A and B are shown apart, each in its own frame.
Chain A
């Protein structure tokens, strides 16, 4: 029986947490088929302890292609390497994260190895009898859920949104193999050069990988008012997001935008204030686990999606909430 693979990601030698989230998904599938789970990592300068963590979090094998030329993600080279591994080891299925690299790598590889790929799956299962990977994903802004399979091609491949599953706890009794591979020179593609990296926005955030997102919309009235949201976000170690209206007004930069023409997020907790809940905004937050909304208008659509809604003035409610959380932290209740 061929194995289940998950694609791990690293940045500057550090394994990203999304790699562990994928392992918990992969573990379930591998167990159901009674096969093994391998974690595939392309990068450089990753410590043995970090590789070992992949095993403690669910992997049976870790394949690590270790080369400085793999440190930065360049889709041409990374896809050559992954396609080469697929041709050699013939995995049953591959899960990758729906990140900026996973969403570039996987569609490129799907063509190279001639198989299908399903994007942004929210549920994955193995069909009894056939061992087909059942891939369920939202489409049309989350208004339909489609279950898809790839019956006649191999491997069966899917991407999964960051934060849509929890990593397994570390289990130091788990035993697995770490297999280091060298990069074959002929797989290196030098057509594209990374010539720089920019991070000029001090508040640059990775809202797709945050557990808690606190967002504001046009109802925030002006840029300075986002300070109360920032304070709230900090209480949860979360980050601040915004509706498109708030971004178009220049109150927040584009990387903070949530929705159809911004980012799609699946945090554990989404809190929003002064956002009406347009269909384009809702498309980006539907897969959040818990949604809390504050809006003066009881009829605003955001309340249809909220698990807890407060009809009220955000300039009264948010400061009161901040104060209450402060007391809560001090008194433990």
Chain B
């Protein structure tokens, strides 16, 4: 079972604080990490390999510094990685990103399963995984919460939908995007880190890939960002204290008044 996992490097936001004055995120000195939601894909990928053999290859499209994310994934237990990087790829939207990544998958050629994160925490679209499946014309299951039985030609998965869990039998190769429930990511090991350091990360670029130049990067992207606003996140709402029996009573009464005003009751 050969598995490909597309991962994205994103700004680390777990420790980011809000600027109380401006109500915006303080992003100074923010480190880059593997998209946290991709860790679930990496973990289930490694588990499947451990059980069924084969290997796990992570691929990441981004600047040369995205190598760090690939090495981290190898330190967790992935076998190898490929960096997909070229100045011409910069500014890709989800259409162009999924096109470029699908061409990388075609170049790798030998795979049974692709596992992607549900969405990336920066772009936050969840469109790249489905897009890769569409470009490759392979079946897709999104929001996969459980991977069940696997044989030579098929895999059974559960996907979390509004009414419950849909159980699907998919052929191989297929692409799954996974949610947190699918696995509990392990930490990198010392041995893994050593291996990661020693592993060469090949680079796929315009030069050695089969790509249509008009479909790449900012120019090749159908969607164009025309405006960016930084909204105030804080709402400046009312704050009341509820101390002692009377305090609680008063606070609740004020809340009732608020709900009446807003026609919530």
* Of B54-62, B72-80, B196-204, B252-260, the one with at least 4 CB within 8 A of chain A: B252-260
Q: Is the CB of A303 within 8 A of B239?
A: yes
Set of chain A residues within 8 Å of B20, measured between Cβ atoms: 304
Set of chain A residues within 8 Å of B121, measured between Cβ atoms: 140-141, 260, 283
Per-residue contact bits, chain A 222-242, to B (CB 8 Å; 1 contact, 0 not): 000000000000001000000
- A147-B227, A193-B168, A291-B237 given; A304·B18 CB < 8 A: yes
CB of B6 to closest CB in A, whole Å = 14
Query: How distant is the Cα of A112 from the Cα of B225 in the complex, in angstroms?
Result: 22
Query: How distant is the Cα of A143 from the Cα of B163 in the complex, in angstroms?
Result: 30
Q: Is the CB of A324 within 8 A of B252?
A: yes
- A142-B233, A304-B233, A312-B248 given; A195·B167 CB < 8 A: yes
Residue A219 CB within 8 A of the other chain: no
- A150-B223, A311-B239 given; A192·B95 CB < 8 A: no
Residue B160 CB within 8 A of the other chain: yes
Residue B36 CB within 8 A of the other chain: yes
Q: Is the CB of A111 within 8 A of B265?
A: no
Q: Is the CB of B237 within 8 A of A108?
A: no
Set of chain B residues within 8 Å of A316, measured between Cβ atoms: 242, 248
The size of the chain B interface, using a CB distance under 8 A, is 89
Per-residue contact bits, chain A 64-87, to B (CB 8 Å; 1 contact, 0 not): 000000001101100100000000
Q: Closest chain A residue to B118 by CB distance?
A: A261
Query: How distant is the Cα of A229 from the Cα of B128 in the complex, in angstroms?
Result: 37
CB of B242 to closest CB in A, whole Å = 3
Query: How distant is the Cα of A270 from the Cα of B1 in the complex, in angstroms?
Result: 44
Set of chain B residues within 8 Å of A104, measured between Cβ atoms: 130, 140, 142
- A149-B223, A320-B252, A324-B256 given; A312·B241 CB < 8 A: yes
Residue B93 CB within 8 A of the other chain: yes
Residue B222 CB within 8 A of the other chain: yes
Q: Contact check: which of A148, A254, A279, A304 meets B180 at CB < 8 Å?
A: A254
Residue A89 CB within 8 A of the other chain: no
Residue B249 CB within 8 A of the other chain: yes
Q: Closest chain A residue to B122 by CB distance?
A: A140
Set of chain A residues within 8 Å of B242, measured between Cβ atoms: 310-313, 316-317
Task: Report the number of A-B residue pairs with Cβ-Cβ less than 8 Å.
Answer: 270
Residue B33 CB within 8 A of the other chain: no
Query: How distant is the Cα of A139 from the Cα of B171 in the complex, in angstroms?
Result: 34
Residue B139 CB within 8 A of the other chain: yes
Q: Closest chain A residue to B253 by CB distance?
A: A324
Q: Is the CB of B140 within 8 A of A108?
A: yes
Residue A188 CB within 8 A of the other chain: no
Q: Closest chain B residue to A12 by CB distance?
A: B163
Q: Is the CB of A110 within 8 A of B127?
A: yes
Residue A268 CB within 8 A of the other chain: yes
Q: Contact check: which of B14, B24, B161, B262 meets A280 at CB < 8 Å?
A: B14
Residue A21 CB within 8 A of the other chain: no
Query: How distant is the Cα of A181 from the Cα of B128 in the complex, in angstroms?
Result: 31
Set of chain A residues within 8 Å of B13, measured between Cβ atoms: 140-141, 279-280
Q: Which of A72, A107, A290, A325 has the most CB of B within 10 A?
A: A107
Per-residue contact bits, chain A 270-311, to B (CB 8 Å; 1 contact, 0 not): 000000000110110010001110000010010111111111
Q: Is the CB of B264 within 8 A of A290?
A: yes
Set of chain A residues within 8 Å of B126, measured between Cβ atoms: 103, 107, 119
Set of chain B residues within 8 Å of A142, measured between Cβ atoms: 231, 233
Q: Closest chain A residue to B142 by CB distance?
A: A104
Q: Is the CB of A111 within 8 A of B227?
A: no
Set of chain A residues within 8 Å of B159, measured between Cβ atoms: 100
Q: Is the CB of A308 within 8 A of B238?
A: yes
- A100-B142, A261-B37 given; A117·B223 CB < 8 A: yes
Residue A169 CB within 8 A of the other chain: no
Q: Is the CB of A194 within 8 A of B237?
A: no
* Of A26-34, A171-179, A201-209, the one with at least 4 CB within 8 A of chain B: A201-209
Query: How distant is the Cα of A274 from the Cα of B237 in the complex, in angstroms?
Result: 18
Q: Is the CB of A144 within 8 A of B256?
A: no
Q: A196-B167, A198-B158, A325-B265 are in contact. List 4 more A-B contacts (CB 8 A).
A: A117-B223, A141-B13, A192-B169, A310-B251
22 contacts between A and B (CB under 8 A): A75-B141, A79-B134, A106-B127, A107-B127, A107-B130, A107-B131, A108-B134, A110-B95, A111-B135, A115-B95, A119-B124, A140-B124, A147-B225, A150-B222, A192-B141, A236-B264, A254-B145, A279-B18, A282-B233, A291-B237, A304-B20, A306-B239
Closest 6 CB pairs of A and B: A312-B242, A116-B222, A199-B164, A111-B134, A116-B223, A196-B167
